[in-house]
Amino acid sequence: MCFSLRCVSPMHLAEEIIRRACTKFYYITLLRDPVSRYLSEWRHVQRGATWKTSLHMCDGRTPTPEELPPCYEGSDWSGCTLEQFMDCPYNLANNRQVRMLADLSLVGCYNLSTVPEKRRSQLLLESAKKNLRDMAFYGLTEFQRKTQYLFERTFHLKFIRPFLQYNSTRAAGVDLENDTIQRIEELNDLDMKLYDYAKDLFQQRYQYKHMLDRREQRLLRGQASFHSPFREEGGEGTARLPTEDYMNHIVNVW
């Protein structure tokens, strides 16, 4: 993305300043285990949180009340039980990660009558996967250290402190029966599939960056050895290479 040159007068700015005004923006995101994320949102809503100010704009308009009915009456849904939270068929917590990553215009936005349900789910999932692939970076909440490593290697910066892995969350403190967990997984079936895909792609990106680091370290050691009066011969092990699709993606995007 670039600032419009119509907003900048060449008479007052040098060509170099105009060039620097053109900035490329990157989309990044963090994904979370769908069950934990769902429980966390339920706890958040239970404490009185709402998304009343969210317009849910899609194709230039907001959804009608018929397309997106509310799950509760009154000012908020505070105090709702998990059962009530799961029972609302219009709850946007269901498959939220896919919905927020996908291009909703492909399925008629929030109008569920535009595309058959099975086809709609397929289009949304594939769109979310594509947009995830096209992101310069994304992380996983359950892998904080690897997320930090990838962020630092992708954008060539270094955080002052290491990321901490907090597993003691409000969601983790909820005791659930297996049947309840299974129902949450079913309600978030698309998110479950997206998260499995995201973990695999995340691991490929992590391994690829590690491979580059090892290659750079070998080059540095080789240069040091070349200039050393005590040169030694030795071999290096081979690293697992990333898939061809991901290599092509790296070339095209980065």
Computed over every residue of the chain, the mean pLDDT equals: 85
Please name the amino acid found at residue 141.
T
Range among 57-66, 208-217, 231-240 with highest mean pLDDT value = 57-66
When pLDDT is cut at 50, 70 and 90, the band that residue 249 belongs to is low
Q: What is the pLDDT of residues 177-197, one digit of tens each?
A: 999 999 999 999 999 999 999
Please name the amino acid found at residue 18.
I
Higher confidence at residue 253 or residue 44? 44
76-81 contacts at long range (C-beta below 8 A, 24 or more positions apart): 76/45, 76/48, 76/49, 76/50, 77/45, 77/46, 77/48, 77/50, 78/45, 78/46, 78/47, 78/48, 79/46, 80/42, 80/45, 80/46
Q: Is residue 151 within a helix (H) or strand (E), and if so which, with residue range?
A: helix 144-155
1 vs 165: CA distance, rounded Å: 34
- CATH for 5-226+241-253, among 3.40.50, 2.60.200, 3.20.20, 1.10.260? 3.40.50
213 vs 156: CA distance, rounded Å: 12
Position 11 pLDDT exceeds 70: no
Higher confidence at residue 4 or residue 189? 189
When pLDDT is cut at 50, 70 and 90, the band that residue 126 belongs to is very high
CA atoms within 13 A on the CB side of 184: 22
22 vs 18: CA distance, rounded Å: 7
Strand residues in 35-187 grouped as ranges (E): 137-140
When pLDDT is cut at 50, 70 and 90, the band that residue 44 belongs to is very high
Domain segments of the chain: what residues? 5-226+241-253
Whole-structure pTM value? 0.77
Strand residues in the chain grouped as ranges (E): 28-31, 137-140
